[in-house]
Amino acid sequence: MRIGKEKVSRIRLAPVLLAFSLAAGSVFLVPSAYALSELHKIPGQAAGEAPPQGNAQGQNQPQGTTPGVPMADPLVNSQNGQGVDKTPGAQDASKPVEVIYDISKAPEPVRKMRQQIVEAAASGDLERLRPLIGTGSDQTQVTVGEATDDPISTLKDLSGDPDGNEILAIMLDIMSTGFVHVGQGTAEDMYVWPYFAEKDLKSLTPPERVELLRIVTAGDLADMQEFGGYNFYRLGITPDGKWKFFTAGD
């Protein structure tokens, strides 16, 4: 399932957690490793993906979707919990967040971009993401702060392996979860994966915890709960199909 996740988990969580601890007046240390993702069901060759039909209550996966990436048959279908103001356009933390699993409820440009990202990531070739990332002011944000000159090179550097396969696996894991629609009617209108970015992690149900633990380790989750929210990778797509960001942190 998850090869050496405790050994190679959380290297990129450490700076965020350390900064939070210093602000609170006490320093705590976290292991210097990064969480690996599961690719045991993901083929090396991309396959076509069709928008799912029906609801998220255990219906079969639509024919033509990429194997190993749940579409209309998720582990969890919950709309409980509170939002966490962690992403652009994040919902009011006092309001319940609606978790969406049916990708057909997203606009067609969002569905198309998601499918292209999934297919590129499943191929194992990081360069297949380049046409989707864009350039200039439309370039996908892959680091917090200023844009990088070469986002593909940056993603490769962030990966725990020289070919960037780990970062692609993380991307697939994230996009296999439910998602949320935040910032409706504002300039930050966005569809965000995973939905944990907008959830109170201390209120997760057991099935939701299992789904999150497909992405991070139990140690990561404990650190996130202490930190106050999800701070691993998240991905955002605008309603018009622009891939806005793929970043880690709060």
141: three-class secondary structure by DSSP: strand
**What pLDDT is recorded for position 146?**
72
**What span, in angstroms and rounded, lies between the C-alpha atoms of 191 and 189?**
7
Residue 58 has pLDDT above 50, yes or no: no
Total of domains in the chain? 1
Residue with the bigger pLDDT between 74 and 133: it is 133
Out of 63-72, 210-219, 236-245, least confident range: 63-72
Which 8-state DSSP code applies to residue 98?
Answer: P
**What span, in angstroms and rounded, lies between the C-alpha atoms of 116 and 20?**
36
Residue 36 has pLDDT above 50, yes or no: no
Domain membership flag for residue 25: no
Residue 219 has pLDDT above 70, yes or no: yes
Domain membership flag for residue 145: yes
Task: Name the H helices within 25-180.
Answer: 108-122, 130-133, 151-158, 165-175
**What pLDDT is recorded for position 191?**
98
The DSSP bridge pattern shows strands 190-193 and 180-182 to be antiparallel
Domain membership flag for residue 15: no
109: its two tokens = 């440009």
**What span, in angstroms and rounded, lies between the C-alpha atoms of 208 and 195?**
10
Residue 183 has pLDDT above 90, yes or no: yes
Domain membership flag for residue 22: no
**What span, in angstroms and rounded, lies between the C-alpha atoms of 250 and 245?**
13
**What pLDDT is recorded for position 143?**
87
129: three-class secondary structure by DSSP: helix
Whose CA is closest to 148, among 245, 35, 243?
245
- pLDDT digit string (tens) for 110-166? 999 999 999 999 999 999 999 999 888 889 999 877 777 899 999 999 999 999 999
Q: Which domain holds residue 226?
A: 37-49+63-247
**What pLDDT is recorded for position 203?**
87
Residue 175 has pLDDT above 80, yes or no: yes
What value does the mean pLDDT of the chain take?
74
Residue 174 has pLDDT above 50, yes or no: yes
Domain membership flag for residue 228: yes
